Amino acid sequence: MPDLPDPTAADRPDRSDLPGLPEPRPTAVLLNPRDLVIAAAQRLGLSVVVAADPSSPVPVPDGLPCTVLRTPWITDPADLVRRLRALAPAGPASVFGFGEAGAGTAAAVNRELGWPGNPPEALEAFRDKARLRAAVGDRAGVPVAYEVCSDREQARAAAARIGFPCVIKPVAGTGSSGVRLLTTPEEAEAHLAAVAFTAQYVVEEFLEGAEYSVEAVSTPAGHRVLAVTEKATTGAPHFVETGHVLPVVLDPADEAAVTAVVTATLDAAGLRYGPSHTEVMLTAAGPRLIESHGRPGGDRISDMLGLALGEDVFAQMMLAVFGLPEPARAARRRVAGIRYVTFDRSVPVPPHGTGTALVASLPGVAEVEISVPAGELPPPVAASGDRHGFVVATGDTREELEANLARAVRTLTAA
């Protein structure tokens, strides 16, 4: 699990003014955490326990300076419950998961143990895109036409009723997996013939406009929008995300309307603690909900919040769950972004070391990664997991950020 390169220590939120914690210290149980999550808990002075499932895409290295429980929590949460009961933390404790699987498991385990955290129903609500969209439409008056389908015939009929173009995607999908734009009945027929329908799908109207994500953090006192993130995608038919920039400034009326939709979404789900990532389309008729998640945004968006604005969503959730005061944040207003790189698919990817080291040394670059193993041909990009690599960078202005990202991408693909 590589560390995130940190251009300056000032790019990390300062927690040195936190009051001393009572003894025994609260215990944060972290589910296959990234290095940033462990660092956040340690800066807060919490007692840290890491629950490590070997099947998680986020590996846990050996030698961590904390208690490590090796447990298959993804497939067997009951094992984690048994292990934590045996551990019996002396003071307040809670389980924290900041990924798609971890957030839901943390909620369920906390309820079983009587520990504070989000209600499991909230995380379940985020996974059901159709039900959440219906609830938000009722609350915010922003309906989007959709139908939930369990088989090919239902999907065929739904597409005909909603009209073309329309979009089909799994009800509980993530990472652009299974998302497809259907522009004609013939295209729909060809695509549906290949869908297994082992789970429910939603067919929905195609929304046109500018697509954004909204990063927020929730406490029992309410929801606070941290930033609006601009995104770029591959476009039709799969709409795989290729880059993000935050924060961006919207027209005040649009910002107020977007905030209302996000607040209605988080209220409808019942999220009480921690970060969320809500995707909206700003159409000519106003903002429309695409989907929402009770976790930080992927694609290093949580890192970008820290780099640009000094917002540490991991620490904020832990403080809120344990009822601890949050220190004043140092004012910072930079711009951060990520760009996904696309290599020549006819040429094997070269060894990573030289290219990534060179890019990491460029101005503004915070992280660089190549996902395709050296010597292999890059795959076509039809879902997020197919992307070839990325660069994260910062700048004092949008123009400086774009120049830093362009230079880094150009250098990496030429290496």
Q: Three-state SS string across the chain, please?
A: CCCCCCCCHHHCCCCCCCCCCCCCCCEEEEECCCHHHHHHHHHCCCEEEEEECCCCCCCCCCCCCCEEEECCCCCCHHHHHHHHHHHCCCCCEEEECCCHHHHHHHHHHHHHHCCCCCCHHHHHHHHCHHHHHHHHHHHHCCCCCEEEECCHHHHHHHHHHHCCCEEEEECCCCCCCCCEEECCHHHHHHHHCCCCCCCCEEEEECCCCEEEEEEEEEECCEEEEEEEEEEEECCCCCCCEEEEEECCCCCHHHHHHHHHHHHHHHHHHCCCCEEEEEEEEEECCEEEEEEEECCCCCCCHHHHHHHHHCCCHHHHHHHHHCCCCCCCCCCCCCEEEEEEECCCCCCCCCCHHHHHHHHHCCCCEEEEEECCCCCCCCCCCCCHHHCCEEEEEEECCHHHHHHHHHHHHHHHHHC
Instruction: For residues 128 and 347, give the distance between their C-alpha atoms in angstroms, rounded to a whole number.
Output: 40
pTM for the full predicted model: 0.84
The residues, ordered by sequence, that sit 6+ positions from 409 with a Cβ below 8 Å of its Cβ are 339, 341, 391
Query: Strands 27-31 and 93-96: what pairing?
Result: parallel
Per-residue pLDDT of the chain (415 residues; tens, 9 = 90+): 333 333 333 333 344 445 567 678 999 999 999 999 999 999 999 999 999 999 998 999 888 989 999 999 999 999 999 999 999 999 999 999 999 999 999 999 999 999 999 999 999 999 887 778 777 876 665 667 888 899 999 999 999 999 999 999 888 766 567 789 999 999 999 999 999 899 899 898 888 899 999 999 999 999 999 999 999 988 877 788 999 999 999 999 999 999 999 999 999 999 999 999 999 999 998 998 888 999 999 999 999 999 999 999 999 999 999 999 987 776 779 999 999 999 999 999 988 888 899 999 999 999 999 999 999 999 999 888 999 999 999 999 999 999 999 999 999 998 7
Phi, psi of 287 (to 5 degrees): -75, 145
Judge contact between 216 and 313, C-beta under 8 A. Answer: no
